[in-house]
Structure 1
């Protein structure tokens, strides 16, 4: 009996918290349309920090906004805790998604209501979903969320313009935490911050992951940031996933030429090395020959996937033998 229970528990633990399957997102404007995301699939496990990395316009933010149902999916499906959350869903499921999946937006200066107090901003989700039985309980939840991000209770009566960029991003994180979500989408949460406080916010997110058992989709363009924060990294270019691997595996054995071009752009701490390094420019027209076979998603090394045809897959295997 115990063996059967343990087997069932292990099976549950191996189930992804979030599954994105063959996702496509197309935007239409009259008779014209633009496909921002094409056939994207990935899983995020419970307690994992999963990073989606690519340059501006690659579709990474679109994916995050589609997961949280801001953008509709044109094709494909998204599952959270085994329940489909894409497409048409009932009102109860929609509320369940909002409570359990929260998003930290990129610009802390634009994502806070300047006319509202911090107390109201942090408590807005509690008001919308009636998640308190008394005013005393509501205030305690808001205060606890502020304390968790390193702010003080007296900050609750102030307004956003009274805070620095780093403090405003902490308020945005408190607004997310008060909902007690399982999963957080962090859309470039430090890109608008000064370098001196980026590490503080990253460390805060890592500490909250340990304390609350959170899972993250971390959207970024900076590979040095995701190397510090993420367990696995997926690289996206022009709406397509190009490579996916565990973080150190990706850095030690980059396969796809686009991944290698991103890594070549990472600044080096040594001025002489930085001055003499060679930047790799990704040019799909010259770097891929698909006349003898179209690319497909394949596992080159254990847990290390790349978009490649047969010839490229062989070359990638030979690179690290």
Structure 2
């Protein structure tokens, strides 16, 4: 979350590009991705899903893809959430928050200052503790509104390099984000924004919204699954590492069936050559007291149960595509 990256943990030929956060179209049942510069946009159901015999296994396996994308493991075995993880101001574990903090700090330092025809920030424009090491940031002259004291517009990072105070070491950023600020909220939409550090490059697409004090944040990211359909993950939280396993919670939306709340009930572990989990379990909860669980039995198979709300438990099982 994962966000389209230069390395993948899934073998299923996924187009793992997340979309900008676009509000879903109510109860539409469209199952086809809408492309915006090759970024899938979710247009499916946003209503709560009722889990049943006809959809339980499909929801379980497609939600698993979303959970897998929420965790990207680097060569050192440390976890970086690769989806835009919703956190509060005390979290330092995700890249999207770092970009948010960098962007807001730079813009905030330019409030009530003279704005030239086009703003290009580089070199001495940045605080020394941010470790500027090259490149620049540009934004249009009309981005800052002196009357409202708010920034609204598109910011472009041009090989912008930082080497201090970021939490991940040397970092180079390229691409654009749309920044929106009101009296109560700040929103950033990432559009094919790439971040390079530690020999890896991550491409981020999604929407990150916080209240003005950054104490409550939400995210939304859309992705194309292995079946070609576009799915949505939102309000994602990731904890853990490659040694202990991962805990993930989120809201997951299937284009045909609607949305469920998912969370890991047992830490998910990854020790398989094919990138699939070899242990752990995920629960998913829908409308009308319906629910289900999928367990990762080994590298090639899964099993689970569901309750359509009647109190009767039914089992399912299957194998991952090869």
TM-score > 0.5 by shorter chain: no
Greater relative contact order (CA < 8 Å, ≥ 6 in sequence): 2
Q: TM-score, normalised by structure 2?
A: 0.33
* Larger Rg computed on CA atoms: 1
Q: TM-score, normalised by structure 1?
A: 0.33
Higher strand share: 2
